[in-house]
Amino acid sequence: MRATSSPARQADLLSRWPERGWAALWAACLAGILAFPGWQDVPFYLIWISLAVLYGFRDWPAQHAICLSAGVAGSTAAAIGLAAGRSGLGYASLGKVALMAAMFSAMIWHTERRRSADADRCRVSAENERLLAAQRRFLQDASHQLRAPLAIALGHAELLASALSEPQQRRDIHVVVGELDRLRKLSERLLLIAASENPEFLRPEPVALERLIMELLRRWRPTASASSSRCAAVTSRRSWSPPRRAAFASSTRATRRPPSSPPTRSRG
């Protein structure tokens, strides 16, 4: 009975064809070094260049890359040594094996540094996304929690404004209604910002500064007047009246004793 491989195994075998092709090239280059000692530089460098290209695409773990580079260095050194022993060219060519192995080790080190930096960047990005999601949830919860109390307070303030008849009280309650309405609009804007995927969809627009300042003065004038009235009342309560000052001064003089006269000497 013919065994059939699973689709996952077939996909894995198809994904490994670059490694299989490079292994065949490796064996062919080693054979070329042994067969043509005078042209050994071409297959030697072809092995290392193809290995570097394959490592750049595959991005193996550091342990696998180190083991593979050690195997390539050992096999090429053995092939060059055998070719040098047969042809009598000498063993000076073995130095390039160490140089290529050192270069590939430096490549592995830089790759590991890049992998570590990518991991740190991904971790920071995930943390930023988590904080942004938490901030968006907080804005949504705060906006929902503020809408009901503001609506109730605004409704009561509007009822109170319709029931008041004194002009000053009506002006004050209209200021309260306006501020509550501003808070309601602010909560709606916060909810809109929290619901949007891109918080930069808001575009700044020019504002009439003079009108804004006059509106702020109109809203804060009753509060400033009330504060100044309270300060004046407290100051007047703390100040003493003239009769009280006179009574305090007379009591102070009554309790003060006159200084004693110096003793006189008798004439003798």
Residue 175 clears pLDDT 50, i.e. is over it: yes
In a domain, 140, yes or no: yes
What's the DSSP call for residue 265?
P
Summary mean pLDDT of the chain: 75
Q: Which of 117, 141, 170 is the last residue of a domain?
A: 117
| 137 and 219 part of one domain | yes
Task: Go through 84-120 and write b for each residue having 16 or more CB atoms within 10 A of its CB, e for each that does not.
Answer: beeeeeeeebeebbeebbeebeebbeebeeeeeeeee
| 144 and 215 part of one domain | yes
Task: Report the pLDDT value the prediction gives residue 248, as an integer from 0 to 100.
Answer: 47
| 22 and 112 part of one domain | yes
Q: Can you tell me the distance from the alpha carbon of 151 to that of 146, in angstroms, rounded to the nearest whole number?
A: 9
Tell me what percent of the residues of the chain surpass a pLDDT of 90: 9
What's the domain count of the chain? 2
Q: For residue 16, what pLDDT band results from cuts at 50, 70 and 90?
A: confident
pTM of the prediction?
0.48
| 108 and 137 part of one domain | no
| 181 and 111 part of one domain | no
Q: For residue 261, what pLDDT band results from cuts at 50, 70 and 90?
A: very low
Residue 195 clears pLDDT 60, i.e. is over it: yes
Domain hosting residue 96, numbered range: 18-117
In a domain, 194, yes or no: yes
| Average pLDDT estimate for 223-233 | 61
| 79 and 113 part of one domain | yes
If one compares 125 and 230, the residue with the highest pLDDT of the two is 125
Residue 210 clears pLDDT 70, i.e. is over it: yes
In a domain, 260, yes or no: no
Residue 236 clears pLDDT 80, i.e. is over it: no
| 163 and 133 part of one domain | yes
Which residues 6+ apart lie within 8 Å of 19 measured at CB? 54, 58
In a domain, 105, yes or no: yes
In a domain, 111, yes or no: yes
| 132 and 224 part of one domain | yes
Task: Report the pLDDT value the prediction gives residue 111, as an integer from 0 to 100.
Answer: 87
Residue 68 clears pLDDT 60, i.e. is over it: yes
If one compares 185 and 71, the residue with the highest pLDDT of the two is 71
If one compares 231 and 75, the residue with the highest pLDDT of the two is 75
